[in-house]
Amino acid sequence: MKLEGLSILGQTRVTTAGKPNAAINPATGAVIGPDFFWATTADVDAAAQFAAKAFVEFSRWPGRRREGFLKRIAELLEADAAAIVERANQETGLPVARLQGELARTYVQMRQYGEAAASGLCAGARIDHADPNRKPQPKPDLRSMMVPLGPVVVFSASNFPLAYSVAGGDTASALAAGCPVIVKPHQGHLGTSELVALVVQQAVRDCGAPEGIFSMLYGAGREVGIALVKHPLVKAVGFTGSRAGGRALMDAAAARPEPIPVYAEMGSINPVFMLSGALNHKAEELAAGLHGSVTLGVGQFCTNPGLIFVERAAAAKSFLQKLENLTASTPPGTMLTADLCSAYRAGVEKFSKATGVHRAVTVDAEAGEGKAQAGAALFVTDAVTFLGNHSLMDEVFGPSTLVVECSSREQMLAAAKKLEGQLTATIHGTPEDFAASRELIETLANKAGRLVCNAFPTGVEVCHAMTHGGPYPATSDGRSTSVGTRAIERFVRPVCFQNFPDAALPDELKESNPLGIWRLVDGKLARAATPS
């Protein structure tokens, strides 16, 4: 596939006269061809109109047909894996093995969300039968199910150039729901985005889908991105990125004449609580595990543990010593973009200068124009300092973490209560530690979307039970998850049919249950056909 650097509008390419933009190899700072061209606000309008038109037909597609489409995307991604991974490696500096794993995760998501659409899991079908003899009023027949919202705009993540990008989790869940998608790709992997978009475009052809269900518009967030969010035909937004970026989209969406939902995943410092029993039992093992989680992928995961509360314990010192040694011997790594690397260096600098914070380790890395090399960093402070300085909760995106030494479990609990919303919170403890930590667990369940026990938060399983979400500011909407089949529920709404003739009902609600899906019938879950 030859790259053209042009936006994709259904089955066509957008020709444009703007100034060219370059893709950069962050490991070398070198430009990689071709030139890429930004879309205009006229293209935004065209894509939205196209999506709204396609929605009329796409919203009629049964779940099984949507599944076929998602599976076709997965097949084509698999067939083009080598080219996609090669380009992504050049554009992001992420290792080939990691990118292969991430692409596999991308197929898994497509297939899993497709299966959820086909199985009726997200249809939420409910039937309450009529009772013509009820007094004082007869009871009508009422049936409801979830229907798609309409065109969805997806903003790609920089740190998952495949699994949370053009054909990533937000796109897969919106398509599984029956919503057309317009992607605004991240500038950190322009060519990868084009390769993946061409795959989706091919799948649209192969499955006879209305072409407007997928477009991809290159551009800057402030122009093309905001124009997409403000377009009246757009009905929801998915985003993964910074808090400032996510909040700008939330504010734009809330100020529309018709406000729309924004699902922004804006990062988190993912606190880890090391309880004394666990520390005394396996201090060095915990230090090694934590170090692996902090430095995985050069620390560029939303679930990277950036804040470690260590309870007073005999073995706390050896835990910290081991963590220092491992951090000091960590080789520098290439970050995704030079901008992210500069922000990382600034964050490390800020923590280095913070009063009461000890800079235990900072690994040197080659600096200079176009270089995105980052060294790991480890800071240590005490709970009193932490409780007195709100800026110590700021996220430093990269392989840095802050250890907070707590002199008691009460102090640890006080720190937990001060935390903002998080994607995850982790507790390491023995069964006795857990039994004595009910208030800590409850506090963290109130702050985070996922609680992890005796493991590390990096690694987000794609499954039915996953919550990758959490209260603001971790996300814009703590009622949602962006990973797992529940992600589909973000893009639907319930519609109720009263006294409808069976023939005019969607299959999901027909009396004979032709799809064989689970439904809540008169308050009871049932899958068999209901007696007529």
The footprint of a second copy on residues 55-84 (CB under 8 A) is: 56, 59-60
Cβ 446 to a second copy, closest distance in Å?
8
The amino acid at residue 308 is: I
Question: Which position among 328, 354, 500, 530 is part of the footprint of a second copy (CB under 8 A)?
Answer: 500
Neighbouring CB atoms inside 10 A of 479's CB total 11
Comparing CB distances to a second copy, the nearer of 101 and 332 is: 101
Question: Which position among 101, 289, 332, 370 is part of the footprint of a second copy (CB under 8 A)?
Answer: 101
Q: Hey, which residues are catalytic here?
A: 265, 302
Question: Cβ(316)–Cβ(287) under 8 Å?
Answer: no
Q: Does 140 bind a second copy (CB under 8 A)?
A: yes
Cβ 147 to a second copy, closest distance in Å?
6
Residue with tokens 């090669």: 86
Comparing CB distances to a second copy, the nearer of 337 and 475 is: 475
Q: Does 510 bind a second copy (CB under 8 A)?
A: no
Comparing CB distances to a second copy, the nearer of 2 and 135 is: 135
Rounded distance between C-alpha atoms, residue 504 and residue 502, angstroms: 5
Q: Return the axis-axis angle of helices 81-92 and 96-119, rounded to nearest 10°.
A: 120
Comparing CB distances to a second copy, the nearer of 136 and 208 is: 136
Neighbouring CB atoms inside 10 A of 501's CB total 7
Strand partners, 494: 146
Question: Cβ(334)–Cβ(299) under 8 Å?
Answer: no
Cβ 12 to a second copy, closest distance in Å?
26
From residue 424 to residue 463, the character string flagging contacts with a second copy as x (rule: CB under 8 A) and all else as - is: -------x--xx-----xx--xx-xxxxxxxx---x-x-x
Cβ 66 to a second copy, closest distance in Å?
17
**DSSP for 24-61, written as a single string:** E-TTT--EEEEEEE---HHHHHHHHHHHHHHHHHHTTS
Residue with tokens 């909040």: 247
From residue 226 to residue 255, the character string flagging contacts with a second copy as x (rule: CB under 8 A) and all else as - is: ------------------------xx--xx
Question: Which position among 167, 234, 469, 508 is part of the footprint of a second copy (CB under 8 A)?
Answer: 469
For 111, the token pair is 């297939």
Comparing CB distances to a second copy, the nearer of 500 and 511 is: 500
Q: Does 28 bind a second copy (CB under 8 A)?
A: no
Rounded distance between C-alpha atoms, residue 246 and residue 223, angstroms: 15
Nearest to 304 by CA among 424, 441, 433, 139: 424
Helices (H), 59-188: 63-79, 81-92, 96-119, 169-177
Question: Which position among 477, 482, 488, 510 is part of the footprint of a second copy (CB under 8 A)?
Answer: 477
Comparing CB distances to a second copy, the nearer of 178 and 306 is: 178
Residue with tokens 């969300």: 113
